């Protein structure tokens, strides 16, 4: 696992300075504390920070082929590199290391852009083809590993994190207001946008080439949704998951697993226990608040499989932790679950260098409550008379005060009604939206509101839904989630928080073979009645303790609504002070003050909006203040 970066001047007479690449590498040293490498050749420079996981002695990057005509920097792991290596040897390629990185170099020589289709793994990579004077950037099919790039006609700069790009000279920093609108609506910024207008994320399953003119972006993997009844679907799913876990156990350093106590992480741990030579090391996070604490479920799995289990109950200084974690995101990111993700990563890193997770299972097999909310709305609530919805349910939801518990009937009811008010064509994503059009009109200043007048914050969701084709609601919703929420929220969170402590995280459910298989399943294999993940649970039933099989989806969250009324209150009132907001010009300070007041009095739960605004303000102070 590594962090990569690089710079290319379009003018071939202009020289990249090694000091620039060094600064870029140093900004992402947390991604790879074990080694640094820099390659500079005229108008091109590549940099790498390495976390040693495979081939500890000879895996130094940047790495070249035999005659140094092709150079690579690579972030990720290729799980099938050994079989690919043997195929390439037969074709005459000579290897000088045991690393997966070298297999990519020779695969590029052999297959060109087609090398990407040969790779099973997670990756972001950059290849400099010296004879062709060609830069080749690529990202894995599901977007597990990040890759940002900047192009202004004069230079192309890229990096695993945005902060690396900002180390290069001449980078223009201007806030993308559409991205800001997206962020406040969804708590993340969807690809290919970033918070800066001229910085983009390379989308999953895409590569980008520069041959002397403007960069050209192409797709090399398309997720096809073709649901059909299959015989032995359970057997096939089990085979794929066993193989996905087996491949991800390859490591030259200690390895373990996150264990939340949910279905997906429990399945991963169970399969690891069957495949590993010794006890699996497992790591779980708990809370003092019982409605957020899932440790008893994690213990049930740990006891069944006799794992080397580690637990941590969150008692950290919320203010200090907040400041620390926000600094690891180069653009605003509002998902509260960064806290437990960081803490479980920090705990795991004391014992292992690699950890497996259960991320992806909900998107692939219909696990989120939002899928059930969408089904209930389509089949029942949508058809109820407007007089009942507008005259009874909506006013009731507005009057009810939120409860302290994580979920509960009142909180679920309020969230459902909020989502049901949004346009039906947004499908289940309506229950994952945190800023409505009416609230948006109140939140932004008149100047910003005017500039966003023609902007549709839901456009990327509509496009993904259209790309899914004529399919059922469950598979369409899953497809949209894989292309949006999974890649730009879940995977960003896991990557940044694990890399903050130099921990590599592997995701068996996102083996592309498992993903492709999941979208060949009919909807009743994902949700049957009120049963989510029907086929997955049925297939893996024998692996799960009864307590895990019976429990509902919980989610990896924290009591942030309570923290904002307690430990984080001074930080919130400072960051969201009306005078500060007025001077910046983005937001209506009076409206934000109203949100703060209602939240502190407990009459409403505005934690999502307030936390997102706090994160933006903290980011703005760090990245935009005094930049001109």
Per-residue pLDDT at 432? 85
Residue 55 pLDDT > 60, yes or no?
Answer: no
Per-residue pLDDT at 557? 61
Residue 556 pLDDT > 90, yes or no?
Answer: no
Let me know if 32 is exposed, middle or buried by CB neighbors in 10 A (0-12, 13-18, 19+).
buried
Per-residue pLDDT at 293? 61
Beta bridge partners of 320: none
Per-residue pLDDT at 553? 59
Per-residue pLDDT at 628? 44
Q: Percent of the chain, pLDDT > 70?
A: 95
Structural domain spans, the chain: 2-171
Per-residue pLDDT at 316? 63
Q: Percent of the chain, pLDDT > 90?
A: 70
Where b means 16+ CB within 10 Å and e means fewer, 184-194 reads bbbbbbbbbbb
Catalytic member of 2, 5, 25, 115: 2
Q: What is the rounded CA–CA span in Å between residue 628 and residue 620?
A: 12
Q: Are 252 and 227 in contact (CB under 8 A)?
A: no
Q: Which CATH code, of 3.40.630.30, 3.60.20.10, 3.40.50.300, 3.90.550.10, is assigned to 2-171?
A: 3.60.20.10
2 is catalytic: yes
3-state SS assignment for residue 538: helix
* Mean local confidence (pLDDT), 49-54: 76
| Top-confidence residue, 177 or 336 | 177
Residue 349 pLDDT > 80, yes or no?
Answer: yes
169 sits in the region (left: phi over 0; alpha: psi -120 to 50; else beta) called beta
Let me know if 357 is exposed, middle or buried by CB neighbors in 10 A (0-12, 13-18, 19+).
buried
Per-residue pLDDT at 403? 67
Q: What is the rounded CA–CA span in Å between residue 51 and residue 45?
A: 20
pLDDT band at 105 (very low <50, low <70, confident <90, very high): very high
Residue 56 pLDDT > 70, yes or no?
Answer: no
CA-closest candidate to residue 268, choices 350, 361, 345, 346? 361
Per-residue pLDDT at 608? 93
3-state SS assignment for residue 208: strand
Q: Write out pLDDT tens, residues 393-429.
A: 878 877 777 666 656 677 778 778 877 777 777 777 8
* Mean local confidence (pLDDT), 563-575: 93
pLDDT band at 388 (very low <50, low <70, confident <90, very high): confident
Q: Output the CA torsion sign for 571, 575, 577, 579.
A: positive
Out of 212-226, 230-244, 340-354, 539-553, which region has the weakest mean confidence (pLDDT)? 539-553
Q: Write out pLDDT tens, residues 286-302.
A: 876 655 667 888 999 99
* Mean local confidence (pLDDT), 92-98: 89
3-state SS assignment for residue 69: coil
The number of residues in the chain equals 628
Q: Write out pLDDT tens, residues 515-548.
A: 999 999 999 999 998 889 999 999 999 999 988 8
* Mean local confidence (pLDDT), 186-198: 97
Q: What is the rounded CA–CA span in Å between residue 246 and residue 242?
A: 6
* Mean local confidence (pLDDT), 372-391: 82
Distances (CA, A) of 528 to 313, 344, 474, 535: 35, 33, 11, 9
pLDDT band at 138 (very low <50, low <70, confident <90, very high): very high
Strand order in the sheet with 2-9: 35-41, 44-50, 2-9, 155-159, 148-151, 199-201
* Mean local confidence (pLDDT), 466-492: 95
Instruction: Please state the pTM of the whole predicted model.
Output: 0.93
pLDDT band at 381 (very low <50, low <70, confident <90, very high): confident
Distance of CA 243 to the CA centre of its chain: 23
Mean pLDDT of the chain: 91
Per-residue pLDDT at 400? 75
Read off φ and ψ for residue 257, nearest 5 degrees: -150, 145
* Mean local confidence (pLDDT), 172-200: 97
């Amino acid at each position: 696992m590594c962090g990569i970066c690089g710079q290319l001047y379009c003018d071939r007479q202009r020289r990249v300075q090694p000091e620039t690449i060094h600064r870029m590498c140093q900004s992402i040293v947390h991604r790879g504390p074990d080694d640094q490498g820099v390659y500079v050749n005229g108008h091109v420079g590549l940099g790498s920070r390495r976390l040693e996981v495979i081939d500890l002695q000879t895996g130094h990057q940047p790495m070249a082929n035999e005659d140094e005509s092709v150079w690579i920097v690579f972030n990720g792991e290729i799980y099938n590199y050994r079989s690919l290596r043997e195929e390439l040897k037969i074709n005459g390629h000579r290897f000088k290391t045991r690393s997966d990185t070298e297999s990519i170099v020779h695969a590029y020589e052999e297959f060109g852009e087609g090398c990407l289709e040969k790779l099973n793994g997670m990756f972001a990579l950059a290849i400099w083809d010296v004879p062709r004077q060609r830069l080749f950037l690529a990202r894995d099919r599901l977007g597990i590993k990040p890759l940002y790039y900047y192009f202004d006609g004069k230079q192309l700069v890229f990096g695993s994190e945005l902060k690396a790009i900002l180390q290069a000279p001449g980078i223009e920093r201007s806030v993308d207001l559409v991205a800001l609108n997206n962020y406040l609506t969804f708590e993340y910024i969807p690809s290919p946008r970033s918070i800066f207008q001229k910085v983009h994320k390379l989308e999953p399953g895409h590569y980008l080439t520069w041959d002397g003119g403007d960069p050209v972006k192409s797709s090399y993997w398309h997720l096809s949704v073709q649901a059909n009844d299959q015989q032995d679907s359970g057997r096939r799913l089990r085979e794929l998951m066993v193989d996905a876990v087996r491949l991800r156990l390859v490591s030259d350093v200690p390895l373990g697993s996150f264990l939340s106590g949910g279905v997906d992480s429990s399945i991963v741990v169970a399969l690891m226990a069957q495949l590993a030579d010794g006890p699996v090391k497992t790591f779980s996070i708990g809370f003092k608040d019982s409605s957020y604490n899932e440790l008893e479920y994690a213990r049930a799995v740990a006891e069944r499989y006799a794992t080397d289990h580690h637990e941590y109950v969150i008692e950290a200084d919320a203010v200090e932790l907040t400041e620390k974690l926000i600094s690891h995101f180069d653009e605003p990111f509002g998902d509260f679950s960064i806290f437990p993700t960081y803490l479980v990563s920090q705990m795991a890193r004391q014992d292992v260098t690699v950890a497996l997770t259960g991320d992806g299972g909900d998107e692939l097999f219909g696990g989120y409550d939002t899928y059930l909310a969408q089904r209930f709305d389509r089949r029942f609530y949508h058809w109820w008379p407007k007089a009942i919805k507008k005259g009874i349910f909506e006013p009731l939801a507005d009057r009810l005060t939120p409860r302290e518990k994580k979920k509960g009937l009142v909180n679920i009811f309020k969230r459902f009604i909020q989502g049901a008010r949004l346009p039906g064509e947004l499908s289940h994503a309506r229950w994952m939206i945190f800023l409505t059009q009416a609230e948006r009109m109140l939140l932004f200043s008149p100047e910003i509101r005017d500039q966003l007048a023609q902007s549709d914050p839901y456009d990327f969701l509509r496009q993904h839904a259209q790309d899914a084709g004529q399919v059922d609601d469950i598979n369409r919703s899953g497809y949209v989630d894989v292309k949006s929420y999974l890649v730009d929220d879940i995977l960003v969170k896991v990557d940044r928080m694990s890399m903050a402590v130099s921990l590599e995280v592997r995701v068996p459910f996102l083996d592309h073979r498992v993903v492709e298989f999941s979208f060949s399943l009919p909807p009743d294999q994902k949700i049957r009645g009120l049963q989510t993940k029907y086929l997955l649970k049925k297939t893996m039933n024998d692996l799960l303790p009864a307590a895990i099989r019976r429990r509902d989806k919980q989610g990896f969250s924290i009591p942030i609504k309570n923290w904002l009324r307690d430990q984080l209150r001074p930080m919130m009132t400072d960051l969201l002070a009306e005078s500060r907001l007025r001077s910046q010009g983005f937001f209506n300070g009076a409206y934000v003050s109203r949100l703060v007041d209602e939240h502190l009095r407990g009459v409403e739960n505005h934690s999502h909006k307030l936390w997102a605004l706090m994160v933006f303000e903290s980011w703005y102070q760090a990245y935009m203040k005094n930049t001109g």
